[in-house]
Structure 1
Amino acid sequence: MDVPKLLEAASLLVPEEIATENDITVTDVWDYLSHDEWEVALDLLEELGNVHPLPVSFWETLATAAEQMQLENSAAWCHWRCYETRNGVIRADLTLRPASESRRKTPFAGAGVLRPMWSIGNRTPTGEPELDIARLWAEFTPTLGPGERSTVRLAPLDPSQWQHLQPGQLITMHEDRTVGGTAVILEVRPPAGTSTA
C-alpha cells in the first residue's frame, strides 16, 4: 500500500469529534492529504493519536507510512506507541546523576534506544533488590546527558513486573549496579481497552 492510502486508512480510525489543543481534526488531515502534504498529515495524525486512545492498527499503519517516507524518528515513535497501546503507558520525571557521580559521561539518544535497568521495588527470592529492564524515550528531548532532567516514557521488557507502580513513587535507573539517575513516576495507564475498575 502506498503512503497516501496508508494515511487515509489511519485517518479512518480517528473519531471525527476528536480535536487537538489547536483544534486540529481529522478533516484537517484530509485537507493535507488532498494536497499531497503527506508528512504534515502524518504529524497531525500522530497529534490526534495523543489526544484519544486509538487502536494498535492505527499506530502500525502510521509506522509503515513513516518507514516508506524514510522518517526514522516518526516510525520509531509510532512503533513505541504500538507498544504502549498493547502494554500501557509509564511516564516519569528522570534526573540523571552528574558525570562525576555516575558511569555515564556522554549524552544518549532520547528516542527509545537506551535499555537501562531499573530498581522499581521488586526483590529476588533471597530478598535482594531486583533490577528490571525498560527502554527509555525522552519526551521532547533528542538527547539526554549527565546531570540533565527530562520527562521520559518507559517500555518494560516484562510489563507484568511494573504493574504495582503508582504516581509519586521513586525509582532508580542503572546502567550498571550503581545508580545512574532517579525518577518520580508521573503517570501509569493500563493498556488501551483495559478497565482500571
Structure 2
Amino acid sequence: MVFLDITATDEERNTIIDVVYRTAEQVFIPLTVGGGIKSLENIKDLLRAGADKVSINSAAVYNPDLIDRASDRFGSQSMVIAIDAKRRKYPEQNCWDVYVRGGKENTGINALQWAQEVEKRGAGELLVTSMDTDGTQTGYDIGLTEAIAQLVDIPVIASGGAGNCQHIYEVLITGKADAALLASLLHYGQITIAEIKKYLSDKQLRIRPIS
C-alpha cells in the first residue's frame, strides 16, 4: 500500500503522522508513505509510526545528499524515490522532465539521468509517475517506464494512467515495471484486487493468491 500526501510539500507541512500510525495498526501489508518529507527526522518519525518505506520527491531534488544520508542511516530498502515526469515536447521526443511540489514546478532535470543518480545515491526503489497519463485511465506511459527500467537495477513501480487490467499487464511486460500502482481505479470501485490478480494469473504471471 502506498500513502502519498501529495499536497504536503506545496502546503509546507509534514505528512500527518497520526494517520500513518492508525493506518499501520489496521493494515498488515507493507506500507510506503510520502509527502512533505524534508529531513532524516521526518523519515525516522514515519518509520516509527509504522511505515515500512518512505517515498521522497521534492526534498531529494532540492537536497540530493538526503538520499545518501537516509539510505546510510535507515537502509536503502526503506528508501523510495518518487519521480514525477512529464514528456518534453521539444526538442527531443523521448525525453522527460522531473517535476516537484506536487507537479507544479518543472526542474528541467532529465528524468532518465535523475533515475540513475538516485540509484547511485542509495535509493532502493523508484516510484515513476507519468504526469501525462496520471488520472486519464488511458494506460501507463510505457515509454517512460521502460526507458527507466532499462537504465537501473532497482525495482521500478509504474504510476499514472491505469484504466483496466490490460494496462497493468502491459506496463509489467512491455514497460518492464516490477510493480504497478493503482489509485482511482480502486478508489471508485471500478475493479477489485481479486479481479486484477485473476487476470494477471490467467496471463501466466506469478501472482500471490488472495488469502
TM above 0.5, yes or no, is no
**Higher relative contact order, chain-length normalized (CA < 8 Å, sep 6+):** 1
Higher strand share: 1
Taking structure 1 as the reference length, what is the TM-score of the superposition? 0.31
TM-score (norm 2): 0.30
